[in-house]
């Protein structure tokens, strides 16, 4: 036994216990060894080590999280694809593609006996009532819900819903005329008016009642929360990369955000209950769900609660974003604007003649909207899926199971390898007027995603965009104001973070010649 003499006097045995600092330094050394080993494994021996991409991003997912928080994910993915090619490793266990074939490989229908690529579950937060909505449902429940909702988004349903669409399109035009009064022109932010209209319209179709945005000329508080939640989602992606932090949501997420989320869900439930009380009495989403719910294959009230917010966000913000984008590009490319004006005003003698069936037949209008979706996709981000156990071939190369894979819409649609003059707004590329764009890889363009989980409401969205844009350009002349010349320089947080789009509004034919 070894003894140490204490200065205070007396003797005591030395217990060979490491000091706090020696324990700390030992722990730090172990962590250094672990992370050095992790880095070597990730860069040299990981199954994805052969894929190109930034080395730091291959080591830690925090790099990707920073891109998201900065709102630069869409532009960063394009830059990385331009540098490394059609597939890039953006995190230790994640790949992002822009190749046209990746759409079918990742999102397409699978052969019988082959497992599907499920949505990356870490990216989707559960609803407050714990019931899956259609975007997070498993394959069986998704198929059941989709069969029900297919009726609500069919061409037949669209014909029956036209009266509702026309009503809100009319309110949209009347509100803009009211802003002008007797003035020759009026400066407005057109983005908010697109949002007011699309939220009211989809609120009526989803809940049987609007949010009152148009009538009150301002955002409903519920709509504000939805839009704020989209921005906040970028910060919550930390749970995607570090799922062990999920139990700390109550601590990491500000209490007021959780309270707002619950309040918005409670309002959804209240609106759903009011709509259900009316039964199948009007041509909205609920009536079709109720009509086709039989033999235990319907949708529960709780599932309708969970889906309601999905309907509203998916059917409003994306449509308003596209309308804002197409307005900006038309006003920047005046020759395209003038050609579209001639087509619309040359086709319809009066506003009341503008019907959905007639709009489908306008080739330049449809090519303008298609090109706007290419150059300014309403969802510019990625749609992650998980490779099933056993792995799969993607873009002619094997990818092991449990890897997160996705296609970057913005990068794919802006790739020079897919589209000639990709940064230019060229609606003519979608027409058969010349051979200049005949080599464009149109199969790379999938704005509504691809396969069994593609956007169910795309026909409604297309009809709504055609109607609102045609009504706007038939009734008014527009001019882009100087402060919005660089409007397109935007950040994205899953969806675009759109600034004001300031335009000068004139009554049709009243804009002075330049």
What are the tokens at 410?
């913005």
Distance CA 69, CA 148 (A): 37
Answer positive or negative: Cα dihedral of 56, 62, 66, 72. positive
| Nearest in space to 495 (alpha carbons), one of 136, 191, 61 | 191
Task: Return the DSSP state at 104.
Answer: I
In terms of Cβ atoms closer than 10 Å to its own Cβ (0-12, 13-18, 19+), residue 449 is: middle
> How many C-beta atoms lie closer than 10 Å to residue 310's C-beta?
16
CA distances from 94 to 60, 274, 383, 384, 454 (A): 11, 43, 12, 9, 22
Say whether 110 sits in a helix, a strand or coil. coil
Distance CA 397, CA 407 (A): 15
- Residues in the annotated binding site for heme: 455
- Residues in the annotated binding site: 455
Q: Which residues contact 268 (CB under 8 A, 6 or more apart)?
A: 207, 305, 308, 309
Place of tokens 């995607």: 240
Distance CA 450, CA 106 (A): 9
CA distances from 83 to 44, 371, 395, 422 (A): 21, 25, 18, 16
Distance CA 451, CA 301 (A): 27
| Nearest in space to 229 (alpha carbons), one of 254, 261, 263 | 261
What are the tokens at 408?
């970057």
């Amino acid at each position: 036994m070894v003894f140490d003499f204490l200065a205070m006097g007396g003797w005591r045995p030395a217990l060979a216990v490491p000091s706090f600092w020696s324990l700390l330094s030992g722990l730090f050394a172990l962590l250094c060894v672990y992370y050095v080993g992790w880095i070597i494994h990730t860069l040299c021996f990981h199954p994805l080590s052969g894929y190109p991409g930034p080395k730091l991003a291959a080591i830690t997912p925090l790099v990707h999280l920073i891109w998201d928080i900065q709102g630069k994910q869409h532009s960063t993915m394009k830059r990385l694809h331009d540098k490394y090619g059609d597939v890039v490793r953006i995190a230790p266990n994640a790949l992002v593609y822009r190749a046209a074939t990746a759409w079918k490989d990742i999102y397409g229908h699978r052969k019988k006996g082959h497992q599907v690529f499920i949505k990356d579950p870490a990216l989707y937060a559960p609803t407050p009532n714990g019931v899956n909505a259609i975007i997070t449902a498993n394959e069986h429940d998704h198929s059941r819900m989709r069969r029900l909702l297919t009726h609500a988004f069919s061409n037949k349903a669209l014909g029956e819903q036209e009266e509702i669409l026309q009503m809100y399109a009319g309110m949209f035009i009347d509100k803009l005329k009211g802003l002008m009064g007797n003035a020759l022109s009026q400066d407005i932010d057109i983005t908010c008016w697109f949002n007011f209209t699309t939220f009211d319209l989809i609120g009526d179709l989803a809940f049987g009642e609007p949010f009152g945005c148009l009538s009150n000329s301002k955002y409903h508080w519920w709509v504000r929360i939805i839009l704020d939640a989209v921005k906040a989602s970028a910060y919550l992606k930390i749970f995607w990369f570090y799922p062990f932090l999920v139990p700390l949501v109550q601590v990491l997420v500000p209490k007021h955000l959780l309270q707002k989320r619950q309040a918005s869900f409670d309002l959804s439930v209240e609106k759903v209950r009011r709509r259900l009380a009316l039964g199948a009495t009007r041509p909205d989403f609920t009536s079709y769900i109720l009509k086709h719910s039989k033999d235990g294959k319907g949708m529960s009230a709780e599932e309708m609660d969970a889906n309601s917010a999905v309907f509203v966000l998916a059917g409003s913000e994306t449509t308003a974003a596209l309308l804002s984008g197409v307005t900006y590009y038309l006003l920047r490319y005046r020759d395209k604007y003038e050609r579209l004006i001639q087509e619309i005003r040359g086709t319809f003698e009066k506003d009341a003649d503008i019907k959905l069936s007639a709009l489908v037949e306008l080739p330049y209008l449809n090519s303008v909207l298609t090109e706007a979706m290419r150059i300014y996709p309403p969802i510019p981000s990625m749609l992650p899926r998980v490779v099933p156990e056993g792995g799969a071939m993607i873009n002619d190369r094997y990818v092991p199971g449990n890897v997160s894979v996705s296609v970057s819409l913005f990068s794919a649609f802006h790739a020079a390898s897919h589209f000639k003059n990709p940064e230019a707004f060229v609606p003519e590329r979608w027409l058969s007027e010349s051979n200049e764009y005949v080599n464009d890889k149109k199969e790379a363009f999938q704005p509504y995603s691809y396969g069994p989980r593609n956007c169910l409401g795309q026909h409604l969205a297309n009809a709504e965009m055609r109607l609102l844009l045609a009504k706007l350009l038939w009734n008014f002349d527009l001019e882009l104001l100087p402060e919005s010349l660089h409007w397109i320089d935007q950040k994205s947080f899953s969806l675009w973070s759109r600034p004001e789009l300031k335009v000068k509004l004139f009554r049709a034919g009243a804009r002075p010649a330049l």
